[in-house]
Amino acid sequence: MHKFASLLAAGSLALSACAGPAIAAEEPVDAPAATRVAKEAKGLKTAVFAGGCFWGVEGVFSHVKGVKSAVSGFHGGTKASAKYDIVTSGITDHAESVKITYDPAVVRYDQLLRIFFSVVADPTLKNRQGPDVGAHYRSAIVPTNAEQTAVAKAYIAQLGKSGLWKKPIATKIEPYKAFYPAEGYHQDFMANNPKHGYIVRWDAPKVAALKAMFPTMYRASFLKDA
C-alpha cells in the first residue's frame, strides 16, 4: 500500500472499528496455570487467537518470549470477504484474529492460553470485547492440531470451574479454517502507533498487565514481523 494511502487508512480507523465509545477499561484476571500441560514436539508451532480488536491481541503476544511471529488477520470466513471494511461491516463469518508462531521449548501452548485469558480477552463477553461490538469481535480459540485442541478444551473447562468470573465462559473453540492476513497497515499497529487513542486507552494497559503478571515471559522489545 502507498505510504500516504496507508496513513489515511490508519487514521480513518478512528472513525470505524477498534474505536468504540469510552467505557470502563477491562481488568486483568489472574487465570490459573493449566492442569493439562501441553506436550508439544520440538519445532515451531502455530495457533490462532481471536479476542476483539486484533491490534491488542497482536500487541500482547508480540511481547511474549518464544513468540516468533504474530500476524493480524481474519479467520472463519471466505477469502473473498477477508477484507477489513467487509469484515467490520458484520456480514461475514470472520473474526479479527491473530496467528501466532511460537517455540514450545520457550513458551507452551497452555501458557499462551493462560496469558490470553488473563490479560487479552474477557471470556464472558459474547460477540464483543471492550468497546467493540459484533460477531467479528468474538473471543475464540482456534487450535491447529490435536494436542492444542485437547489442551484448550481442558483449560476452558478448568476456567469454568474456577469461580474467577460470575458469568459463564463464552469463548468458543473453533475448528481451524484458512487464516487471511489483514492489510499491511494493521500489522505491528501498536508498535507503529503507540500514541493512537485506542492503543493508549485499551491495549497498552494489556501489555503493562502482561509485564506485571508474567515477568518471566515478558519481552520488552516488540517483535515486529518483517
Which residues are registered as beta bridge partners of 97?
73
Q: Does 53 qualify as catalytic in the annotation?
A: yes
The three cell numbers locating residue 202 = 485499551
Rounded CA-CA distance 105/189 in Å is: 28
Q: Which of 13, 31, 48, 53 is catalytic?
A: 53
User: Closest by alpha carbon to 72, among 195, 221, 217, 186?
Assistant: 186
Rounded CA-CA distance 110/40 in Å is: 10
Which residues are registered as beta bridge partners of 64?
218
Rounded CA-CA distance 64/88 in Å is: 28
Rounded CA-CA distance 73/94 in Å is: 9
Q: Which residues are catalytic?
A: 53
